[in-house]
Structure formats: C-alpha cells, structure tokens
Amino acid sequence: MRWNTPLSEDHAALLVQRLALPEAGSVLDLGCGWGELMLRCLAEDAGGALTGVGVDISKALLERGRELAAARGLEDRVTFVDEPAQTYTGTADRVLCIGASQAWDGAPAALEGLAGAVRPGGRLLFGDGCWERSPTAAARSIFGDGVPMLPELASHATRAGWRVLHLSTADQREWDDFESTWRAGRELWLAEHGAAPDTAPLRAELEDRLMEYVTVYRGLLGFAYLVLRRA
C-alpha cells in the first residue's frame, strides 16, 4: 500500500497543494503509519528547510517510515516518534491527521484536541471516515455508531473552531484500490507461503473482508479530507 487510506496520487497532490506548505517550518503527522504523505510534503520543499515529525504507536510502521526517509535522503529532516498521538505535545505549521481520530475516541474530540497542535496561521489536514448515506444495520455493526454523516463531520470541524478551506471525499476508484491493495499484500504472501501452517484464519479473514466490502460497505462508507485553519 502506498498509504493506509483511500487516496489516489492526484488527490494527494491536490491536498498537499491546499496545505500551502511553507518554505521553512514544520509538518507533524499524528497517527502517521509509515508517514508517506508527510515524506511527500518534505520532498516538495526543494530548499530542504521543511522538517517533519511522525507520531504513531506501531513500532513496525515507524521503522518502515524511517527506512523510507533514509532511502529518499530525508533522514536528517524527519523524526518518527513512538507515542500516542493524543498525548503528544509538539506543535507544527502544518499538521496531518488521517484515519487516526480513534486516538481521541472519534472525530469531535480529535478536532478539539488537534487545535493545540497547529501553530498560529497554520493548517490541519484532517481525514476521517463518514457515511455517504444512512448506514444499514450491517454497516453499523462493523463500524459502530461513531461514524458521522459528511455534513455532521463538517459541522464537528466548524464547532471545534476551524474554518474549512477545502473538503473532498475519496471516490469509488480510490476505495476499490484501497481495499484491493490491503488484500493484495496478504494474498501474495499466501501465494508464496501456501505450505505454511495455520494459514486458514488469514484466508478466512481475506474472504470475509472482501464479502463485507462488496455486500455491506462499498459505496456506503466514505472518507473525507478537510483542510482547516483556525477561525
């Protein structure tokens, strides 16, 4: 997977453009995974003065981020920190938080908490799940009751004191690609390790997720990207 969110290259480029990265300054990625989008932001800055911090609680993903940074010659400009996002106290000019609102127990509290991370005049790229239409009982049973409709998500942002500079949602192709690449790595592993013991649970998980996607949440679960500034 390029990143762990439904996002095409074109859409990512648009979001980075809407962040209006400063020539010097800092990017903070909370719940960064391997920090691909943050690394793209740093690579945008030809002058090399923009620095980054990625925060996550997965040691393996942080290590993957460090390796990616080193492979691109960005290791001196980026730090990966093993810490819960909700307790991290650093601030930055541009903050990314994509698919990690669960660190604050959902979007409303995340949008409140992230206010303290963005320096005056800065911007936040907030990405989170939302229903495209009223969810079915089956969809609620998978994703719970905390997923907002898109208008609710936008309203959580404005109520938390943000101005919405940009809003876009993942389209069907981005979702299909996200779900397919999530499965593809695991399918390839199975293809190469067919004789490994105890592969039955992984096979079953892959089949379940495929069927849940096509029968329950394809076209129903959305994902929104909001570029925000403080009101």
Ligand X SMILES: C[S@@+](CC[C@H](N)C(=O)[O-])C[C@H]1O[C@@H](n2cnc3c(N)ncnc32)[C@H](O)[C@@H]1O
Residue 136 CB, nearest approach to ligand X (Å): 22
Residue 139 CB, nearest approach to ligand X (Å): 18
Residue 18 CA to residue 136 CA, distance in Å, equals 34
With CB under 6 A as the contact rule, the residue among 90, 99, 112, 210 that binds ligand X is: 99
Q: Are 103 and 30 in contact (CB under 8 A)?
A: yes
Residue 87 CA to residue 39 CA, distance in Å, equals 23
- 3-class secondary-structure state, position 27: strand
Q: Which is nearer to ligand X, 48 or 72 (CB)?
A: 72
Residue with tokens 């208008």: 151
With CB under 6 A as the contact rule, the residue among 98, 107, 125, 216 that binds ligand X is: 98
Residue 103 CB, nearest approach to ligand X (Å): 3
Element (H, E) at 19: helix 9-19
* Residue 129 touching ligand X (CB under 6 A): no
Residue 63 CA to residue 82 CA, distance in Å, equals 10
Q: Per CB under 6 A, which of residues 6..65 are in contact with ligand X? A: 31-33, 55-58, 61
Q: Which is nearer to ligand X, 73 or 84 (CB)?
A: 84
Q: How far out from the chain centre does Cα 173 lie?
A: 17
With CB under 6 A as the contact rule, the residue among 100, 130, 147, 157 that binds ligand X is: 100
Using CB under 6 A, which of the segments 92-100, 161-169, 184-192, 204-212 binds ligand X? Answer: 92-100
Residue 196 CB, nearest approach to ligand X (Å): 25
Element (H, E) at 177: helix 172-192
Residue 101 CA to residue 166 CA, distance in Å, equals 19
Residue with tokens 């898109």: 150
* Residue 102 touching ligand X (CB under 6 A): yes
Residue with tokens 């490994």: 196
Using CB under 6 A, which of the segments 84-92, 113-121, 179-187, 198-206 binds ligand X? Answer: 84-92
Q: How many residues bind ligand X (CB under 6 A)?
A: 19
Q: Can you give the length of the chain in residues?
A: 231
Using CB under 6 A, which of the segments 15-23, 66-74, 80-88, 196-204 binds ligand X? Answer: 80-88
Residue 62 CA to residue 67 CA, distance in Å, equals 9
* Residue 85 touching ligand X (CB under 6 A): yes
Q: Which is nearer to ligand X, 74 or 103 (CB)?
A: 103
Q: How far out from the chain centre does Cα 159 lie?
A: 22
Contacts with ligand X by CB under 6 A lie at 3-5, 31-33, 55-58, 61, 84-86, 98-100, 102-103
